[in-house]
Amino acid sequence: MEKQQLISVKSFSADELRKWQLKLLDILVYFRDFCESHNLRFYLAAGTCIGAVRHHGFIPWDDDLDVQMPRKDFEKLFELWERDADKSRFRCERTDESKCVKFQMGLARSMDTTCIFDHSVDMDICQGLKIDIEFLDGVPNEKWKRKINEIVSKLFALLRAERVPNRKSKAVEIMSKVLLTLFPTHRIRYKVSRMLEKYLMRYDFDGDYEYVRYLSTDLRRKCLYDKAVYLDFEGYKMPVPVGYDEYLRDQYGDYTQLPPESKRKPITDNIFFYDLDHSYLNYKGIYYCVKK
């Protein structure tokens, strides 16, 4: 197949972007209902949380959805999803021994859409539109242990995703490539990442720790997640951390104000092929898994 120019969501019309958002919303609503029926905790995160607080729905130019879960709930999710979810409509996936989904977190994906990223065109995985499911771990109380924890989490993220992270500095890109070369196969990368993950899981979200975080991101006070409060999001009630204001100000500053107009743009720019009306299964051997 000839090399194809990648698609950026920035090029979408307003109607197409809105259609994209509503397809994401379908996944989120099912995910919410599933978690509530199984007593699993989750919170809207990052720009999705800003959207709930500031816009009562999507940030108008946003093109993704992020949720966070305490680690125990995150681990239970995959077991329960496999047993109880409607897998003909939605899949819940993460990297395991048999496959790499090219993301360090979990993914909930729709079966009736197509969104093939450039890094996944040769992979026989669910290629539907996705929402990101991030896990929250505790962080050691001692400062020197926190530094080790941060280094471990960065290496884990790289080996679990098995790709150079997007939109990082040249130095990070070079270092990532070197490390991936040192661990050349999926089997090795997964085995090492699993060891690192077990280290991270030693610090239980519900343990006696002052801070939690998602991988190597900034620390957040655990009390911010003491409970969920429910806000309107596109006509649905969705949970956000009770300390959402501190969480968002720590990460974004004065999130109540709109950013400069030049920054009000979607960020996804590495789509190989998408179709919001048809399942990715129609495109196997055409736009993905072409190589034998």
Question: What one-character-per-residue DSSP string does 27-96 give?
Answer: HHHHHHHHHHHTT---EE-HHHHHIIIIISS--TT----EEEEEHHHHHHHHHHHHHHS-TTTEEEE---
Structure tokens at 238: 């969705």
Structure tokens at 215: 């991988």
Structure tokens at 180: 């991936």
- Give the CA count within 13 Å in the CB-facing half-sphere of 124: 6
> 17 and 63 in contact (C-beta within 8 Å)?
yes
Nearest to 85, CA basis, from 33, 135, 50 = 33
The C-alpha atoms of residue 175 and residue 72 are separated, in whole angstroms, by 32
Backbone angles phi, psi at 212, to 5 degrees: -135, 165
Nearest to 105, CA basis, from 176, 183, 200 = 200
The C-alpha atoms of residue 268 and residue 88 are separated, in whole angstroms, by 26
The C-alpha atoms of residue 212 and residue 230 are separated, in whole angstroms, by 21
**H or E segment and range at residue 138:** strand 130-138
> 118 and 6 in contact (C-beta within 8 Å)?
yes
pLDDT tens for the 292 residues of the chain, in order: 445 789 999 999 999 999 999 999 999 999 999 999 999 999 999 999 999 999 999 999 999 999 999 999 999 999 999 999 999 999 999 999 999 999 999 999 999 999 999 999 999 999 999 999 999 999 999 999 999 999 999 999 999 999 987 767 788 889 999 999 999 999 999 999 999 999 999 999 999 999 999 987 889 999 999 999 999 999 999 999 999 999 999 999 999 999 999 999 999 999 999 999 999 999 999 999 997 5
Structure tokens at 35: 């978690």
- For the chain, how far is it from start to end, CA to CA, in angstroms? 12
> What is the pTM assigned to this prediction?
0.94
DSSP class of residue 234 equals: T
